Amino acid sequence: MTPVSYYLVLGAALFAIGVAGVVIRRNLIVIFMSIEVMLNAVNLTLVALGRALGSTDGQVMVFFVMTVGAAEAAVGLALILAAFRSRHTIKADELNLMRW
Amino acid sequence: MISGTIGAALDASWRPVLAPAVVAITAMAVMLVGSRLGEEDSEGLGWLTFSGLALAALCAFAAVGRHAPAFAGALIVDDYTAFFYCLIAVCAAMVVLLSLDYVPALELPSTEYYALLLSATVGMMLLAAAGDLIIIFLGLETMSISVYVMAAIARRDPRSSEAGLKYFLLGAFSTGFLLYGIALLYGATGSIKLEAISRALQSSALAASPLVLLGLAMMLIGFGFKVAAVPFHAWTPDAYEGAPTPVTALMAVGVKSAAFAGFLRLLLVYLPALHAQWGGALWVLAALTMSVGNLVALAQNNVKRMLAYSAIAHAGYILVGMTAAGGAAGAAVLYYLLGYAFANLGAFAVLVAVERVEQPGTTLADLGGLAKGQPMLAAAMALFMLSLMGLPPLAGFVGKFYVFSAALQAGYVWLVVLAALNSVISTYYYARVIVAMYVNEGAERKLRARRPGLSVALAVAIAATIIIGVDPRPYVEMAAGAYASAAGIARSGVRAAFLAH
């Protein structure tokens, strides 16, 4: 059987890729996709840990994460669309009406 | 007799969640009624929302003194929960009063607006009552997703959609961190129940494991974003400035109180075993948050943006209290939140009243000469600024006094020195608002005819800011009782530590 640490490392790597994507990329859609990668890294971690611990809490949690992720996707894409309609851009750098 | 019948009809396990349930049902009622009404009836929907929130506050108040875990410990119902249920419901109701003439004036979609306001309130309440990691996550997200949309709801204003988008992106990003922290903490301790996690961490071997430490760090980052602690505050000024003003008030008061309610319960009540680890991190966060918030606020000309940095600075003062940990500090933070909430709500109410229809502006120039045209509004704004500044005998002063002295007692001398210095700095930018209103000349302005709702909200905020500060004892008792019931320690102990200074 594959040891649980393999899954944890994979989860951590995916999470890091997601974080790097949010920090580095400037396209709003790609940033949003990177956030989804982060959430799925967490899901993988939760499932692996739940199986290793022999408890169902981890698996149940994944359902909630997926549901909330879907709600976030709906709201996020709508917000990106609304911003695109008023500003005609999906580059994060060009959303700069407000500055300190 | 009637109340007895209703009480019997409600299964005992439902009673603890009565307040959020009432709010959720009101949200559905608003959606149903709103779909039948035209947009011109937005004020009716507002009053429906208001009555639902008032009922929820009453339900929460009636539940004071009951202690029960509900839904197998997923929700904790105690005086701490009741305290935050009441605070959140009252804040949301005040935001409704602020919105009554703002929503039609900006032609915001009223059904969506009020339904989202209510669902955000449900999320805040769940977060305050959370007894396991799933509810923390769900409460936080129910609140946040609703507020993302509310921030972007003024579709004709490009700043509003930009505010919503920025808030959303950074909020969702921080959710990833929080969730990863939750997963790691669950993996290390084998449970999602806060109670069981707390028990598992009594063993020092586990408390020092890298999985726990990494999980804790991730959760600190996640909550740091939500309470707008520096360096996780980048979204705050933009989201506060771009969102419609009543929504900004909700973010500054409701979202912040609820996030701190969850954060405080998690760290102080359930993870005191890890205080050696998170105490140092919070020390740094508190110092940075106060200093950056106050210094950048000095440079702001837009009052809404200034209040955003002021909210960051106040989060820093609250973090000082949390760093200190212990009964007196926990109770002091609850009291602080009370005073902070009303002063901020009042300040935003004044901004709502001052914003003009044709050219919504909240810069210092827009406030110029307000004292001549609108002496009452100007006096109210000055009062709120003085309370936020921390001038005796107002609520803000007493709150700061309790928080700082609790931190002093716990031995955090340098942090308190820094906090006191920051308070001094903050007088400058709060005073600038007062100077603008009383000294500067302003252009002739024609304000919108004010409806009674806004005046009521202002009156409540003024009264609360004065009363809570002048006669703090009953509110101190309330805060001490609330924190003691959450921490499972004797109320008298908290009170004694509190009144020692």
For A82, name the nearest residue in chain B, comparing CA atoms only. B161
B/e letters for A44-62, b = 16+ CB within 10 Å, e = fewer, are bbbbbbbebbeeebbeebb
- Residues of B with a Cβ under 8 Å from any A Cβ are 133-134, 137-138, 141, 145, 148-149, 152, 155, 158-159, 161-166, 168-169, 172-173, 175-176, 179-180, 182-184, 186-187, 190-192, 237-238, 241-242, 296, 299-300, 305
- The position carrying tokens 């339904």 is B115
Q: What is the pLDDT of residue B1?
A: 46
Neighbours of B209 (CB within 10 A): 15
Touching check for A15 and chain B: CB below 8 Å?
yes
Of the partner residues B159, B173, B296, the one whose CB lies closest to the CB of residue A22: B173
User: Full-prediction pTM beyond 0.90?
Assistant: yes
Q: What is the pLDDT of residue B419?
A: 95
DSSP chain A: ---HHHHHHHHHHHHHHHHHHHHH--BHHHHHHHHHHHHHHHHHHHHHHHHHHT-SHHHHHHHHHHHHHHHHHHHHHHHHHHHHHHHS--BGGG--S---
Q: Summarize pLDDT for A57-78 with one digit per residue, the tens.
A: 999 999 999 999 999 999 999 9
Taking phi over 0 as left and psi of -120 to 50 as alpha, with beta for the rest, A98 belongs to beta
Contact (Cβ atoms closer than 8 angstroms) between residue A39 and residue A69: yes
Does A68 reach chain B within 8 Å, measured CB to CB? Answer: yes
CA B33 to chain centre: 29
Residue A92's Cβ-side half-sphere holds a number of Cα atoms within 13 Å equal to 19
Interchain pair A98, B186: CB under 8 A: no
The answer to whether B123 and B258 are in contact (CB under 8 A) is yes
Our measurement of the distance from residue B434's CA atom to the centroid of its chain's CA atoms, rounded to an integer in Å, reads 25
Q: Do B262 and B486 meet the contact criterion of CB atoms below 8 Å apart? A: no
Interchain proximity A75–B145, CB inside 8 Å = yes
- Angle of helix B303-324 relative to helix B256-264, nearest 10 degrees? 10
pLDDT at B9: 46
Q: What residue ranges do the domains of chain A occupy?
A: 4-87
Strand B75-77 to B68-70 pairing:
antiparallel
| Chain A partners within 8 Å of B305 (Cβ) | 98, 100
Residue B323 contacts residue B287 (beta carbons within 8 Å): no
Cα angle: B191, vertex B489, B59; to 5 degrees: 80
Task: Say yes or no for a CB contact (<8 Å) between B152 and A68.
Answer: no
C-alpha closest to that of B376 among B355, B350, B352: B350
Contact B78, B67 (CB under 8 A): yes
Give B160→chain A minimum CA distance, Å: 9
Tens of each residue's pLDDT in chain B, 501 residues: 455 555 544 555 677 788 999 999 999 999 999 988 766 678 889 999 999 999 999 998 887 877 777 788 888 888 999 999 999 999 999 999 999 988 888 888 999 999 999 999 999 999 999 999 999 999 999 999 999 999 999 988 888 989 999 999 999 999 999 999 999 999 999 999 999 999 999 887 888 888 999 999 999 999 999 999 989 998 999 999 999 999 999 999 999 999 999 999 999 999 998 998 899 999 999 999 999 999 999 999 899 999 999 999 999 999 999 999 888 899 999 999 999 999 999 999 999 888 865 556 788 888 887 888 888 889 999 999 999 999 888 999 999 999 999 999 999 999 999 999 999 999 999 999 999 889 887 766 666 666 788 899 999 999 999 999 999 999 998 899 899 888 887 666 666 666 655
> Which residues in chain A are closer than 8 Å to B299, comparing Cβ atoms?
100
pLDDT attached to residue B69: 73
- CA distance linking residue B356 with residue B361, whole number of Å: 7
pLDDT band at A91 (very low <50, low <70, confident <90, very high): confident
Of B141, B176, B242, which has the smallest distance from its Cβ to A42's Cβ? B176
Which is more confident, A23 or B66? A23
**ipTM of this predicted structure:** 0.96
CA distances from A32 to A74, B151, B429 (A): 11, 18, 37
**A contact test, residue of B133, B136, B165 with most A CBs within 10 A:** B165
Across the interface, do A15 and B176 touch by the CB < 8 Å criterion? Answer: yes
Chain A residue with Cα closest to B165: A79
Count of Cβ atoms closer than 10 Å to residue B48 Cβ: 18
| B68: DSSP letter | E
pLDDT attached to residue A96: 76
- The 3 state secondary structure assigned to B151-201 is HCCCCCCHHHHHHHHHHHHHHHHHHHHHHHHHHHHHHHHCCCEHHHHHHHC
Of the candidates B149, B200, B201, the one whose C-alpha atom is nearest the C-alpha of residue B171 is B149
B180 and A15 within 8 Å at the Cβ level: the answer is yes
Q: Report, at the CATH architecture level, how domain A4-87 is classified.
A: Orthogonal Bundle (1.10)
Tokens, residue B246: 């009543």
pLDDT value at residue A60:
92
